[in-house]
Structure 1
Amino acid sequence: MKLKEILAAQKNEGEMSEQDKSFFKRLNKKVVAAMVIAAVLLTTIIGATVIKNVKAGNTELPEILTVQAAKQDIQKTISATGTIISSEESSENASITGSYPVAEVYVKVGDVVKKGDPLYKLDMNSMKEQLSYQQQALSIQNQLYDISRQNAERGMQSTKDSGAIAVIDADRDIARKQQAVVEAERNVKKAKEAIDRAYDSVRHAEEGDSEEEKRSAHAERIEAENALQPAKDALEEAKRDLELEIIKTDKAKKDANDAIIDKYMASKVDELNAKQSSLSAKQEMSKAKEELSKEIVYASQDGTVTNVNIKAGQPFSGGDAVVIDNVTNLKATADIDEAQIPNVKEGQKVQIKTDATGDEILKGTVVFVSPTATKNSNKNTDNQSSTASVSKTRATYRVDVDIEGSNEALRLGMTAKMTFIIADKQNALAVPSADIQTDADGSKYVVVQQADGTTTNVKVETGISDEFYTEITGGQLKEGQEIVEASMDGGADAVLDAMGADGGIYDE
């Protein structure tokens, strides 16, 4: 009988169960080797029987198992077990800075809520009292600032007035000193005029004969000359007094201006200090108001309450107080082994089955592949031996899959059997993976049975593989040719080589 007929018969009976697939995946190399050796021995016995029959004149040969190279759809897949979760979940926690007890809880598990619905309330009476104290303190502080500002304004006006009086007095003193200089200059001028008149008198007396007039004229001249120097000295002194008074006045003006500036700067410092204190108080009040705005926690999304971890009267812990899930829009998540995660990409199609949905295959798409390991899992590689068992710690990576459409049978937390379609080829020429053999030079080939019963090796190039079949992408193999089963050609080594170094499919 040909293998394709056996497989066709099996297909009519139904697909292989998950339990059977799991069994075949767990076949280790020693078990497979034992089975192959048994097959080889059976082949040897058949061969001996054939020789005996030939010697006896019976030329009928035993039937060779073959399978036909045919086109079919091939999918390279990865299987994983995951969990049904919500595609939209929120943990509704109050982002508060203080510690407060829970006042009221408005929802329970199973409640359907809308975005903006109140969920629970915190007891913030202590914060309300604190805000009240802050408001009173700010009010008092503002009153004190108003008083300080008024005093500063009065002090500034007083300083300005004092400075103005000092400047006026200084200007008046300058005016007096200037008048004294003018008077001294006038006296000097009079003294000079008196000398001129005295010289005129002397000239007139010298022209006459009266000695008395001469003596009187010279006496007048001497007196006039003696009066000039004191007048000049008085003028110089008046000028010096004026210069000193000008310096004094400039200093008085500068002192008045400095006093005004000092007063202004002092009042400005007081004003800025008061504003800084007021700003700090307002900031603290703003924080208190912000805190009080979180007294009631509202739903951030539509959905169903799936967890409530708070009770009235208990301190608010802040961890997953109320959990809301969108139970109508679900997705599946699974932790994929480190050996398989490089093959999983966003956008890949996924087939999902659950016990609740029976044989229905749900369609999904990979929407998230974690770049970092989510956990380490202990994977035991048991070789079915009673003497050895190897334990390895392996990393796993979270993968999320959006489920297309909706299914009322699905519930959060259900186990999901997920098949990731890594590669997909439609109407591809394919042969059983076990029938592909490797030559000494590394090239691959299959054994083809000719129409006359003879066999020949045909080189092939391979593509993707599923659990049983491999795509043929190149070579000389044609559709419809009969492929000799590897167990009938090449012996045990050929079968084991086809199955891989570890004797089978790696099982998670």
Structure 2
Amino acid sequence: MVKNLISNKLKNKKNFSSKLNKKILSLLGFIVVLIFGTFIVNIVLNNQGLSDDKYTVLKLKKNINKINAKGEAKSEDSINVYSNVNIPIKEVRIKLGDKVKANDILAILDTSKLEDQIKELEASIVTSNTANQAALENANSVYNNALVLSNDDKNQDIKNAEIALNEAKRDFENKKSIYDKYKQLHESDSISDQELKTYEISYENAEDFYEKSKVTLDNIKSKVQQDMVTARTTYETAKAKAEDNSQNIILENLKKDLNNAEIKAPVDGIISAKNASVGNQGSGILFEIMNPNNITVNVDVKEVDIEKIKVGQKAEIKSDSTGGKIIEGGVVRVGEIAKTEDNNKLDLSNDSNDKEAKYEVKLKINDPTIKLKIGMKAQADIIIDEKEEVYTAPVESLIKDKDDKDCIYVAEEQGKDYIVKEISITKGTETDVDSEIFGQDLKDNMIVLNSPSDYELGSKVRIKDK
């Protein structure tokens, strides 16, 4: 039994080794075929030669560095039309896109309730004025009478009180004199205590009446002054009420609102926004009017390019309305704030949700006779800079040499063949497509290989049709 187990193990081991050898042989065969196939393809390609999309022929030319952007035509002049009256709209006479002239009626407000308010207020003012005038005349009469009575010589109550006071004073002084006389007699025992007491009581009563007469006169005078102050206050209040113009001001404002019930265009232009509709309140911005004669082309520029844009740079504008014709213009304003703020946090490991901000750039058309309509779509090439007599090559044709310096691979003609050679260069202004290149070894008609990593230095290549 042990022999059988050992025999089975040896047999399985041989099978495994046999399968492994077959896999290795298959893999080696695939590699040989791949190498041979690549060799055959290279031979075929070399025999056919490189097509013109595989290389670039250097030519000194004018290099224009530009940024392409899209946008639309907009008016630089726009005016918002408001209503000064917050009442419902009765009629709207225009629609979006209509041309209007200054003073054209755009909408009419419903003034029925306003007219009722004016009538009610006018009637109220007449009633109030009549009542206020009567109250003023009465208050004026009372006040004038109080002024007269405040004069001691003309106030009979004061005069009577003064007469009574003078009489009380004389009576008091007379009885005081008698009392003093009998007081001396009493001291000499000429009269009895009872007799002196009688004169003393008479004197004290006269004194008390005299003091009360003084208080009475003071009270009368005080009341006269108080009545005069009250009458003056009442008169001034009545006068202020009669002269109060607040209701008339309200009436004037209501009549102004009535005159403003027709919403008119302040300027000539095109209705570019319409928020007014029948039945809604006439408040806020009802219309926007744009000037069609002051048009700019507003384009959106990515944040990566916005720092390159400057006021005064040239622009070449195209629109569907003008076909392929290039409209010359220039940058007149560069936006400082992004049109759409990116609220997503930038995740450097995953930028799938990151949205690049865009800035608005305004372009002015040089030729005033060229008319673009508001809202027309347009695209523009903004000229960043222009250089005369420079070489340019595709960005993918630039490579680093062993010293990590910029270079290109060229196909240099040697007899009937072309040899791959390395040329040191310096990069200039670069776009997504091309780069300016400078170098003392560069020359016209030099053939630059567009994909240098596909070639080995010193190898031979064929150029199709050459």
TM-score range with shorter-chain normalisation? 0.5 to 0.7
Secondary structure of the 2:68 match is: strand
SS at match of 1:420: strand
> How far is 1:101 from its partner?
1.3
1:127 equivalent to 2:110? Answer no
What percent of counterpart residues are identical? 18
- Counterparts in 2 of 1:46-85, with a 5 A limit? 67-68=57-58, 70=60, 72-80=62-70, 82-85=71-74
Residue 254 of structure 1 corresponds to: 222
- Corresponding residue number in structure 2 for 1:411: 373
Q: Distance in 2 between matches of 1:235 and 1:356?
A: 124
How far apart are residue 231 of structure 1 and its match?
Answer: 5.5
Query: Does 2:171 match 1:180?
Result: yes
Partner residue in 1 for 2:3: none
1:373 counterpart = 2:339 = yes
Q: Could you say which residue in structure 2 is the equivalent of 1:326?
A: 291
Q: Is residue 297 from structure 1 mapped to residue 258 from structure 2 by the alignment?
A: no
In structure 1, the residue matched to 2:454 is 491
Equivalent-residue separation in structure 2 for 1:105 and 1:144 (angstroms): 46
**2:133 is aligned with 1:171:** no
Structure 1 residues 452-491: aligned runs within 5 Å: 455-456=421-422, 458=424, 460-462=426-428, 464-471=429-436, 477-478=439-440, 480-481=442-443, 485-487=448-450, 489-491=452-454
- Matched position secondary structure for 1:246: helix
* Corresponding position of 2:11: none
Change (3 A) 1:295 1:322: same
Q: Is the 8 A contact 2:407 2:422 kept in 1?
A: no
> Helix, strand or coil: the match of 1:83?
strand
Paired amino acid for 2:129? N
Contact kept? 1:445, 1:459, Cα under 8 Å: yes
- Residue 393 of structure 1 and its aligned partner are, at CA, apart by 6.8
1:400–1:173 CA distance, 2 compared to 1 (3 A): farther
RMSD over aligned Cα, in angstroms? 4.9
> For 1:178-217, what aligned pairs fall within 5 Å after superposition?
178-187=169-178
Q: How does 1:32-431 map to 2 (within 5 A)?
A: 44-45=42-43, 67-68=57-58, 70=60, 72-80=62-70, 82-90=71-79, 92=81, 94-102=83-91, 105=93, 113=101, 115-119=102-106, 121-122=108-109, 124-157=111-144, 164-187=155-178, 222-223=190-191, 234-235=202-203, 237-266=205-234, 268=236, 279=246, 281-303=247-269, 315=279, 324-336=289-301, 348-357=313-322, 358-367=324-333, 369=335, 371-373=337-339, 398-408=360-370, 410-421=372-383, 423-427=384-388, 429-431=390-392
Q: What residue number does 1:23 align with?
A: none
Contact 1:446–1:484, Cα closer than 8 Å, also in 2: no
Conserved 8 A contact 1:119-1:298: yes
Distance 1:479 1:112 in 2: 67
Is the CA contact 1:356–1:409 (under 8 Å) kept in the aligned structure 2?
no
Q: CA deviation at 1:417?
A: 1.9
Contact residue 88 and residue 109 of structure 2 kept, 8 A = no
**Residue pair 2:269, 2:289 contacting (<8 A) in 1 also:** yes
Cα deviation code 1:434-472 (max 9, x no counterpart): 33334688754445789997844536354x324543245
Question: How many Å apart are 1:99 and its aligned residue?
Answer: 1.0
Deviation at 1:77, TM superposition (A): 0.8
Q: CA deviation at 1:160?
A: 5.6
> 2-side partners of 1:479 and 1:292: how far apart?
85
Q: TM-score, normalised by structure 2?
A: 0.64
Return the TM-score normalized by structure 1.
Answer: 0.60
* AA aligned opposite 1:469: D
List gaps (5 residues or longer) in structure 2. Answer: 1-37, 49-53, 343-351, 456-466
State the SS of the aligned residue for 1:96.
Answer: coil
Distance 1:327 1:242, change over 3 A: same
CA contact (8 A) 1:122 1:295 kept: yes
Displacement, 1:98? 0.5
Q: Is contact 1:72-1:428 (8 Å) kept?
A: yes
The 3 A distance-change label for structure 1 pair 308 and 154 is same
Instruction: Give the 3 Å change call, closer, same or farther, for CA 46–364 of structure 1 in structure 2.
Output: same
Q: Measured at CA, do residues 78 and 109 of structure 1 come closer, stay the same or move farther in structure 2, by a change above 3 Å?
A: closer
For 2:281 and 2:306, locate their aligned partners in 1 and report how far apart those are by CA, in whole Å: 37
- Could you tell me which runs of 5 or more consecutive residues in structure 1 were left unpaired when the two chains were aligned: 1-39, 51-63, 200-217, 377-389, 493-508
Size of the aligned set, in residue pairs, is: 393
One-letter amino acid of the counterpart of residue 369, structure 2? N
- Partner residue, 2:35: none
Q: Does the CA contact (< 8 Å) of 1:370 and 1:399 recur in 2?
A: no
CA shift, 1:149, in A, is 1.8
